Amino acid sequence: MEILQLDRGQGRLQIKVEGHEDFFVLSRFLKDGDLITSKTTRKIKRENKVFRKSMVVTLRFTETSYQSFGKRLRISGIIQEGPEDLVSRGSYHTINVEINDILELRREDLTKEDIDQLRKAEKYTKMPPLLLVAIERGVATVGLLSSYELKVIRSLAREVSTKGVEGSKSLLHKFFSEVFSIMRQYLDTSKAVIVAGPGFTKKKFSKFLADKIPNEKVYTGNISTGTRSGLHEIVRRGLPEKIQKDQRISEETRLIGDLLKHIGKEDGLAVYGYDEVKRAITYGAVDTLLISDSTFYSKKMRDEIMKMIEQTRDMGGSFRIISSLHPSGKQFEQMGGLGALLRYKLR
């Protein structure tokens, strides 16, 4: 994502969509009443002929349709402006937003927090992903870790044991080759590869990769399994942060881990749920306010959430928006999407 123009006084933004993650950011950011201006096509009927015509229209936003790693974002709304001979003001239309498209957004109450979130998104979406491989003997899972999402690409299970040393080596080499073939198409766009697992298989696989990937691009780590849960374990253990310091998902996973740890210990240093978090803010006890993305962008909660953020900042605390596209974020969302790490216990 690139913010091409920004005029907070006029509540106006111009944004260039640069990658698939931008679809997710925009699907969360847009809210009812926003005015969206973009190029689009519309089906036109003329003298028993039907054809599609390119044009620029402005919609009053009503909803989005987005699927993870989809090729486009669908933005729907009511037409406010457009060529009078081609569109009817007040009719319903959907814009299909694709990579490299430019959107203009107008919002009457464009806040500092709105701009901060887009600036962070602009930074995070430019970060190249990390390629993760959880591997053990005969079992491997390959995933792609972006700033907002952990995507499982494919899991693989193969028999690698047989009678005779040479036979086993041959099966293991074939298994490694299959894993590498899954990885291959993601290597050029990934910053680094993390190979992790139990035992010695991860080291053997790293050696297998030595003549295929530069050594400085491959990192190894210890986890307990080569299954899908191994990818989540890589993130929980903070391995990505050692490579990419500002890795958003790793940091968010750590924050949610801290929240759950304190809640489990019942030490009074973490709270969740609207009433408890509101009380902690009132007492000035909040060090870090945690808000799920769905809660932050909720029309129903928006005004109250903005007040909570402002109060937290006034008391010297900070806030974080937690993505719901990774396991810890989903778990936090299921808890209500509102929590806080505290400086001290409340009575």
pLDDT 10s digits, 100-128: 999 999 999 898 888 988 898 888 878 88
pTM confidence score: 0.67
Residue 238, in any domain of the structure? yes
Is the confidence at residue 42, as pLDDT, over 90?
no
Contact 10, 90 (CB under 8 A): no
Task: Pick the more confident residue, 252 or 86.
Answer: 252
Do residues 14 and 96 both lie within one domain? yes
Buried b (16+ CB within 10 A) or exposed e, 220-243: ebebebbbeebbbbbbbbebbbee
Q: Label residue 266 exposed, middle or buried (CB < 10 Å: 0-12, 13-18, 19+).
A: exposed
The overall average pLDDT reported for the chain is 89
> Does 116 fall in a domain?
no
Print the domain residue range for 285: 248-342
Return the CATH number at 294: 3.30.1330.30
| Contact assessment for residue 39 and residue 54, using Cβ atoms and an 8 Å cutoff | yes
* Domain's final residue, options 206, 225, 243: 243
Beta strand 102-106 with 92-97 is: unpaired
Residue 310 shares a structural domain with residue 225: no
Structure tokens at 147: 């700033």
Looking at the fold, whether 10 and 92 belong to one and the same domain comes out as: yes
Provide the percentage of residues in the chain whose pLDDT is more than 70.
97
pLDDT digits (tens, 9 = 90+) for 323-333: 887 889 999 99
Are 42 and 7 within one domain? yes
pLDDT of residue 117: 85
Residue 216 has pLDDT above 90, yes or no: no
Instruction: Quote the number of domains for the chain.
Output: 3
Same domain, 134 and 238: yes
Alpha-carbon distance of 5 to 17, in angstroms, equals: 13
CATH number at residue 159: 3.30.420.60
Residue 209 in domain: yes
